[in-house]
Chain A
């Protein structure tokens, strides 16, 4: 697909909600890594000092609900004006029905709302925005509520030597509206299913249904133990994919907007891990001050990482021309070049 472009549609507000529970990685992984120096090296490389972990009773939808409720209240939005609700996540409440429909009721939105789920991870915010903008582009749609979040700590094995230190939970809400401003927003989106095994939860779906054996932990040659209903991640393959596709696709988008990287004020990329973020920043020759991060205190929050990064850096930055890039599970990736100079970014919410 070529570039999707929209005019006169704005991101009006962004909110993010994290669980109150802070997990300190050095304390968490003491038993996993008997060698303290090795543990310190891992923590430095992935760049996650602490993360937010939800208790069993809190789902992604609860974090998104809290973010959306506060956003609608703080922006004084009339709930009856929301015409579409999109929930992007890999951790829905139920296998069915769609969480978006449950949230329509819970948020007190009209029955006229179009509500549906999108199953995407690290690329999910950019994809979700493109869907929200497409709805908002229609004359009969007034406002679109995009809820993006994940609670990956629920599907990662505590015996996974690197993934168990990497992920954090977060739910976000973004309000998109037709404003008829002169702002243009651009997207490019990609998929490569040949890499679907690089990040996968193999069991518990309909291809490999839950069974007693799907909950049996197996230890691999590197000492990681996990069962087939927990996340498997091939870090090397994901890194290779990122280097191969992300820089190229981001450059393509910026070129097709008729601008150049020097005109981008802030870069907000998926917070995969610190090593990867730093390397992308260096490879793209970006001033690190413009390359925003949230990984140190919140970890990799999957689909929520881009809006969470906007929220936690709000006080230090006057957002303007922002390049977002989401990439990962699928494999799926996409970029968005958008102007956020009038976007209201709420303070971080804790639940």
Chain B
């Protein structure tokens, strides 16, 4: 998956418009569930919940998922 595609999917699932790699991000408890589902579906990967809750930006979330999981 390309990074831009991920940002668009993340925007849809969190219902936050125009998220970009540089955007700030703070997840609500519902947001945490949505991201777990998104990452499971697209990367077949589980994130550590405490690390996910500590995320402050989209780029930090992408770093948790791992650069190797993006095709660009």
Contact = CB atoms under 8 A, between A and B. Distances in A.
Interface of A: 41-42, 45, 161-162, 222, 234-237, 239-240, 243-244, 275-276, 279, 283
Contact of B30 (A41, A234, A279): A41
B71 interface: no
A239 B32 CA distance: 10
B46 A162 contact: no
A244 B49 contact: no
By secondary structure, the A interface counts as helix
A149 B46 CA distance: 32
A116 B53 CA distance: 41
Contacts, number: 38
19 contacts: A41-B30, A42-B30, A45-B33, A162-B29, A222-B29, A234-B49, A235-B29, A236-B29, A236-B49, A236-B53, A239-B33, A240-B36, A240-B47, A240-B49, A243-B36, A243-B40, A243-B46, A275-B33, A276-B33
Contact of B36 (A42, A162, A239): A239
Given A162-B29, A235-B29, A279 B37 contact: yes
Nearest to B40: A243
Contacts of B65: none
By secondary structure, the B interface counts as helix
Interface residues of B, number: 14
Contacts of B53: 236
Given A234-B49, A235-B33, A239-B33, 17 more contacts: A41-B30, A42-B30, A45-B30, A162-B29, A222-B29, A235-B29, A236-B29, A236-B33, A236-B36, A236-B49, A236-B53, A237-B49, A239-B37, A240-B36, A243-B46, A275-B37, A276-B33
Contacts of B36: 236, 239-240, 243
A179 to B, nearest CB: 42
B52 A236 contact: yes
Nearest to B44: A243
A41 B48 CA distance: 25
Contacts of B40: 243, 283
Contacts of B28: 222
Interface in B19-49: 28-30, 32-33, 36-37, 40-41, 46-47, 49
